[in-house]
Amino acid sequence: MAQVHPTAVVHPGARLHETVEVGPYSVIGPQVTIGAGSRVGPHVVIEGRTTLGARNRIFQFASVGADPQDLKYAGEDTELVLGDDNLVREFVTLHKGTVGGGGATRIGNGNLFMANSHVAHDCVVGNGCRIGNGSALAGHVTMEDHVIISGLAAVHQFTRLGKHAFISGGAMVTMDIPPYATAQGDRAELVGLNTVGLERSGFTKEQVERIKEAHRILFRSKLGLQEALARLRTELGGNPEVDHLIDFVMQSKRGLTR
């Protein structure tokens, strides 16, 4: 049996692995599934059709799986899915999806959600991301792998954040942030590359140089977007890090932060 504190309220329909720990005064609803080795602190509420993978840690006063803050939501059966090894700190709110957004909010593995951060309905968060204190993702945001958002930043709905991007504190992000970039300000603008993050993630010097050249062609060559993309394919295509950047740009619907 899971280790459940006597003051916690766990619905009989909830499915908890035998190694799960639940702290005092926490409430876990009937449609919740929690995987092996996960730890739920005191005064946590996990509700809705919510699935947590293995070794997640939910700190006190977090709210996981609550109804979305979308006035169109009318009680439909939607869900929140978390992978493995996520840290959800104090007062974090993670909301389930809506029918209009595909029915699910999906979070990958190894992410850190710092205190008071928020992930809204229908967001997709990759692996190894960091969301700083007081930062918020509006609905339908896509956050690729290894993105870092500093404190008190906000991301507009339907915006995409490319992998290994770095968002500075207090930034207001209203358009897509391309992979590997650093952005800051209100409204956020590109201010360079996240070279420190790339090096820490194991990118080689040659890969970083190719990314620098790709960003120079896209954002500093004064070429039109389609012309710049054609030049990228010709000069740097075939390298995975550049091909991902090209694909990200081509799929942009809100437009790119410049």
| Portions of the chain given CATH number 2.160.10.10 | 3-143
- pLDDT given for residue 46 in this prediction: 99
Third-level CATH fold of 198-251:
Udp N-acetylglucosamine O-acyltransferase; Domain 2 (1.20.1180)
Catalytic residue among 121, 140, 146, 215: 121
| Portions of the chain given CATH number 1.20.1180.10 | 198-251
Sign of CA dihedral 224, 229, 234, 236: positive
Q: How confident is the model at residue 1 (pLDDT cuts 50, 70, 90)?
A: confident
199-235 confidence digits (pLDDT tens)? 999 999 999 999 999 999 999 998 999 999 999 999 9
Catalytic residue among 23, 35, 139, 197: 139
Query: What's the average model confidence in pLDDT over 64-89?
Result: 98
- pLDDT given for residue 248 in this prediction: 98
Question: What percentage of residues in the chain have a pLDDT greater than 70?
Answer: 100
Catalytic residue among 41, 48, 108, 122: 122
Q: Does domain 3-143 have CATH number 2.160.10.10?
A: yes
149-175 confidence digits (pLDDT tens)? 999 999 999 999 999 999 999 999 999
What is the pTM (predicted TM-score) of this model? 0.97
Active site residue 85: no
245-254 confidence digits (pLDDT tens)? 999 999 999 9
Q: For the chain, give the mean pLDDT.
A: 97
Tokens of 107: 């979070």
119-135 confidence digits (pLDDT tens)? 999 999 999 999 999 99
Q: How many whole angstroms separate alpha carbon 190 and alpha carbon 171?
A: 11
Active site residue 122: yes
